[in-house]
């Protein structure tokens, strides 16, 4: 019998994502001028107010207020009517130096033996639902909101849109875990008040179904387009009008959308958030490494679905455990335990090696802070930064390195594929 699975996403204007983007923009600023910066920054946003707190060890200075305001404006909070606006909101800064007790366990004379920045377990997941090796429900949820943001910025259609929005997609799967069809789509979008409630809500529903979804569908591969039919159930702004939103409608916090950031509830999650953390924190770097491993294993043909767990002790370089789960969908004559042993042989899983392999000491994090850290497209870009004390710098950096399929050959050789 078929089953249903659901994932959600939130837009860049969602209050939790505003917080994530501020935290990661600040991390990028520190890394741009001091690649050895140790950063753990949390952000809270609410009506007319931003609070930035955390621990930093760095040789550079960052104008926190300027960075926060720039991020808020770029997202689209530029009107007083939103009750949260980049130029007028208050920005309270409470950043202090990283604890020397933590730093002692991380920094070592031999950088290759750098210890993990904390204990914990991190997961990576990959499957064959989509060309990006991501769960279909999550990928479509992200796609819907990315397209909605494009429409808002173009300003030609759906001109009533405001920055805050959420989506949710339910997929019908066969017993063989193959997507059969899109079952339900939920879209809740903040909007201007432009008419009486009933005609206004009817117009938004009509536009979502007739403008937004066709644009999303047109960008998908043919095999994914075929999953859309005329039986899809739509819930558009199901609670009614959504005028009050963003940080005015709901306080936002860094790290509160970890399932949106990863696999939409597929696989597993160790509980650690990503944004605002430099790569010495294995919550972030090892989660990226685990995704890199899982994606390359599936792409190489080891299994059609894979979960990889990496676990660390604070201050210890080597992981305390490596675990692999293939859900009975492996294509090789190795047990899951044997696959895990080969993973340890193929990939150096010490934190410093992960940082080097995935180029994580570069300012590459703002781009991760909305629409998911996984399933993105690797690309090289030039980024510009300006410091009040260290002038300007221009850096060429590689984004989403953990999404590269660069270990397929080594994996195939190791497994005799």
Which residue positions form the known binding site for L-methionine?
A: 55, 98, 250, 281
Residue from 8, 292, 274 nearest 143 by CA: 8
CB 14 within 8 A of CB 141: no
Binding site members for Mg(2+): 16
Residue from 255, 312, 260 nearest 289 by CA: 312
Query: Phi and psi for 311 in degrees, rounded to 5?
Result: -130, 140
Binding site members for K(+): 42
CB neighbours (10 Å) of residue 202? Answer: 12
Binding site members for ATP: 14, 164-166, 241-242, 250, 256-257, 273, 277
Binding site members: 14, 16, 42, 55, 98, 164-166, 241-242, 250, 256-257, 273, 277, 281
Encode 40-77: b = buried (16+ Cβ within 10 Å), e = exposed: bbbbbbbeeebbbbbbbbbebebbbeebbbebbeebbb
């Amino acid at each position: 019998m078929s089953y249903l699975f659901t994932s959600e996403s939130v837009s860049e204007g969602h209050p939790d994502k505003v917080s994530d983007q501020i935290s990661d923009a600040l991390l990028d600023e520190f890394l741009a001028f001091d690649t050895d910066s140790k950063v753990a920054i949390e952000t809270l946003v609410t009506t007319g107010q931003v609070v930035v707190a955390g621990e930093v060890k760095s040789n550079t200075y960052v104008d926190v207020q300027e960075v926060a305001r720039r991020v808020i404006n770029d997202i689209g909070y530029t009107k007083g009517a939103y009750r949260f606006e980049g130029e007028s909101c208050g920005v309270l800064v409470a950043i202090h130096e990283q604890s020397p007790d933590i730093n002692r366990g991380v920094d070592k004379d031999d950088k290759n033996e750098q210890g993990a920045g904390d204990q914990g377990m991190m997961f990576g997941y990959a499957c064959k639902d989509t060309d990006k090796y991501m769960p279909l429900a999550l990928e479509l949820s992200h796609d819907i909101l990315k397209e909605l943001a494009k429409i808002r910025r173009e300003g030609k259609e759906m001109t009533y849109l405001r920055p805050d929005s959420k989506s949710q997609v339910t997929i019908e799967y066969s017993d063989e875990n193959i997507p059969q069809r899109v079952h339900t789509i939920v879209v809740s979008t903040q909007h201007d008040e432009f008419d009486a409630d009933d005609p206004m809500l009817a117009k938004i529903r009509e536009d979502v179904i007739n403008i937004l979804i066709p644009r999303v569908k047109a960008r998908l591969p043919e095999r994914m387009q075929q999953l859309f039919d005329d039986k899809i159930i739509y819930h558009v702004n199901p609670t009614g009008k959504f005028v009050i939103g963003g940080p005015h409608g709901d306080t936002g916090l860094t790290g509160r959308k970890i399932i949106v950031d990863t696999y939409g509830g597929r696989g597993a999650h160790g509980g650690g958030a990503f944004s605002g953390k430099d790569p010495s924190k294995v919550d972030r770097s090892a989660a990226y490494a685990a995704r890199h491993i899982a994606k390359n294993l599936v792409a190489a043909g080891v299994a059609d679905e894979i979960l990889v767990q990496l676990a660390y002790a604070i201050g210890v370089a080597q992981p305390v455990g490596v675990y692999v789960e293939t859900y009975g969908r492996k294509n090789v004559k190795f047990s899951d335990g044997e696959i895990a042993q080969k993973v340890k042989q193929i990939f150096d899983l010490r934190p410093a090696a992960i940082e080097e392999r995935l180029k994580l000491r570069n300012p590459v994090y703002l781009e991760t802070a909305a629409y998911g850290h996984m399933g993105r497209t690797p690309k090289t870009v030039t980024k510009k930064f300006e410091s009040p004390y260290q002038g300007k710098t221009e850096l060429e950096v590689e984004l989403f390195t953990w999404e590269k399929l660069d270990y397929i050959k080594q994996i195939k050789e190791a497994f005799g594929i």
